[in-house]
Chain A
Amino acid sequence: MRLAIVGAGAVGTAVAELAGEYGHTVTGLADSSSGVVDGDGIDVDAALERKRSEGAVGANAPDDVLHGPYEVLVEATPTTLGDAEPGFGHVRTALDRDRHAVLANKGPVAERYGDVRALEAESAGDVLFEATVGGAIPVLSTIADVGADNVSAVRGVLNGTANFVLSRMAAEGLSYEHVLAEAQDLGVAEADPSFDVEGTDAALKCVIVSNVLAEDDREYTLADAEVSGIRELPASALDLATEAGQTIRLIGEVSGGDVRVGPRLVPEHGTLAVGGTRNIVQLETAHAGRLNISGRGAGGPETASAVLADVGRLGE
């Protein structure tokens, strides 16, 4: 398949680099201010080198990529809330052109799921978004395989930054500020970690899962989620949890039409108490019992593997 990739951050770049290995051709790549288009396949290495040296992936405008030759648009621009622009507009352009869209950007499917589905219904193209939930972990495809009707609850650790902070605080008895600074030094937390530590990122993932489970009967947005984060959590709370054989994790929970994200007590050595930046998703199913899937919830190549799995599904 011919792929056009919009967004040249960690995920977009990794998709561009790995696409060839998966048997696809990258015919367009855009960052926020520039683009490169070639129907026969762009030179990915040259484009990325040019971005490093000149700050632009090519001589084209980003719009040229959107309107260029491709079967699949990979939307990997940063997640935005509310109207989910410009990601939503990119998806609209692809669908209007009867092309497929594969999203790594959570905004359009968390904030405007109904609009995305309506556009998809009018288009010959499909929309897939495995990479938006749990990075490399196949959450949505597992739900699709099990059947949304057969899934009664989904819960888990869906943000690696928050999990890193909590597990370091518990293991070392360190303060929130200390561990957060350490996480920023390691590149695990961003300079502005609000999205992660306030629970927004995990909530968006839960909202997307809710939309998938509702099968168009009801649309969820971030406003439907009850969210509390881990900002300023005192070390004493983790100490008290440990004394009782428990620990604290930022848990996202989708059950009975409710979406909740917040710090919760879980058994210290239980399944959900994953360490470091690891994510885990637990599905309660009607016939298959409980399924636990754990792995890397973020990272360029990891998330790109989920994007490319979606591209593979479109080819079937």
Chain B
Amino acid sequence: MSDSPDGVRPYTIRLELVDRPGELLRALAPIADNGGNLLSIFHERGNVTPRGQIPVEVDLEATPEQFDAIVDGLREAEITVIQAGAERYSEEVTVILVGHLVDTDLSNTLSTVQESTGASVQALSLSAPEGTEAESSARLGLATHSGEIDTVLADIREIAAEKGLQVIEPLTGGDAE
């Protein structure tokens, strides 16, 4: 969905570097060598791991093939790769909730959605033209982990059912793409 036509997508890599000069530059070389596009580096100099290493988080863009080559390149250079994967939240999904949203504690609904689905509520629009005591509608923009949309939607259905709310889900897999 958010993939560009050439398959470039965002990735985050967590590394642990030995505390010596030139290590950061050495860690970035495989990214440049394999055609990745470096987006940001978070170098936690003040936060040394129990193993005496410095955690570094690198955000980059690459095709899946380039990304695999980058991770291989890092491992060949004997750089500790803690986590390498797609960006934490890589898919967006919109749902509309309908019902007595205010009476059923909308903020509790939202926090329950965040806590039990692992999705992040990024946007909220509430429409209550008849006043907050009547039925109203809310549109939620959710960011989810890659491939988890179906489970997130199933969880939301359950939360909504408990509160007597109706969920209008997106049609995933249909002409939504």
| Interface set of A (CB-CB < 8 Å, partner B) | 153, 155, 228, 232-237, 239-241, 243-244, 246, 248, 251, 253, 255, 262-267, 270-272, 282, 284
Residues 36 to 72 of chain B near chain A (Cβ within 8 Å): none
Complex interface: chain B residues within 8 A of A228 (CB): 166
Cα A203 to Cα B128 with chains together (Å): 31
B139 to chain A, nearest CB (A): 4
Interface size range of chain B in the complex: 20 to 34
Complex interface: chain B residues within 8 A of A272 (CB): 171, 174-175
Cα A263 to Cα B138 with chains together (Å): 15
CB atoms of B128 and A266 under 8 A apart: no
Of the candidates B130, B135, B173, B175, the one having the most CB atoms from chain A within 10 angstroms of its own CB is B175
> Does B127 lie at the interface of the complex (its beta carbon under 8 Å from any beta carbon of A)?
yes
Cα A246 to Cα B174 with chains together (Å): 13
Q: A234 with B98: in contact, given A240-B125, A241-B139, A244-B139 (CB under 8 Å)? A: yes
Of the candidates A253, A264, A270, the one having the most CB atoms from chain B within 10 angstroms of its own CB is A264
| Interface set of B (CB-CB < 8 Å, partner A) | 94-96, 98, 125, 127-130, 135-139, 141, 166, 168-171, 173-176
CB atoms of A246 and B170 under 8 A apart: yes
| Prevailing SS type, chain B contact patch | strand
CB atoms of B175 and A265 under 8 A apart: no
A1 to chain B, nearest CB (A): 39
CB atoms of A264 and B127 under 8 A apart: no
A126 to chain B, nearest CB (A): 33
Complex interface: chain B residues within 8 A of A255 (CB): 173
Q: A155 with B169: in contact, given A236-B137, A240-B96 (CB under 8 Å)? A: no
Q: A266 with B175: in contact, given A236-B127, A237-B168, A239-B127 (CB under 8 Å)? A: yes
CB atoms of B169 and A244 under 8 A apart: no
Q: List 28 A-B contacts (CB under 8 A).
A: A153-B173, A155-B171, A228-B166, A232-B135, A236-B129, A237-B168, A240-B138, A240-B139, A241-B139, A244-B141, A246-B170, A251-B171, A251-B174, A253-B171, A255-B173, A262-B169, A263-B168, A264-B169, A264-B171, A265-B96, A265-B168, A266-B174, A267-B176, A272-B171, A272-B175, A282-B174, A282-B175, A284-B173
